[in-house]
Structure 1
Amino acid sequence: MSATMTVRPPQEIQDRYAALARATGRPRSFYINRALEDSIDELEEIYGVLHDLEEYRAGRLKALSADEARSACGL
């Protein structure tokens, strides 16, 4: 199931998606959805790490030693 979402990319990006769509005969939405799908994993990882760093700096997240990390991973 899909839902409508409004975004306002710079004109240059809009033009590039339009050109790609014309060149391939696919709709712009195909490529935009593809880009969103491809980038979400990386964004979640980056911002998850940044969140954990903030939690650590605030004293709400405990750091593990290398031995504790290995043990937690079953190594």
Structure 2
Amino acid sequence: MLAIQLPADVEERLTALARATGRSETFYVHEAILQHLDDLEDLYLAEQRLAANRVGTSKRHTLDDVERDLGLAD
């Protein structure tokens, strides 16, 4: 269980959306959190990979190498 406080304007928008669509406020909060978590996880992974790339601890692959390894090279 999680309890959050929303700014009044956000709560009003959420309530209006729920009423207009016949879905619950909980449904939309759940959907918003899931979407944002996916985005945050992608962002943090990209930042980790970029940092590893900058210090030289990750292997780089050229497009030519990938195409060759997958049998897609001309």
TM bucket normalised to smaller: 0.5 to 0.7
Alignment partner, residue 27 of structure 1? 24
CA 1:6/1:58 → structure 2, altered by over 3 Å: closer, same or farther? farther
3-state SS, counterpart of residue 34 of structure 2: helix
Amino acid at match of 1:62: K
Alignment equivalent of 1:46, drawn from 22, 43, 46: 43
Alignment equivalent of 1:68, drawn from 61, 65, 68: 65
CA deviations over 1:21-73 (Å, ceiling 9, x no partner): 2333432101111222334433332332122101111222122222223244x
- Return 5+ residue gaps in structure 2 as ranges: none
Is structure 2 residue 59 aligned with structure 1 residue 59?
Answer: no
3-state SS, counterpart of residue 65 of structure 2: helix
TM-score by length of structure 1 reads: 0.63
- Return 5+ residue gaps in structure 1 as ranges: none
> Over the residues paired in the alignment, what is the CA RMSD in angstroms?
2.4
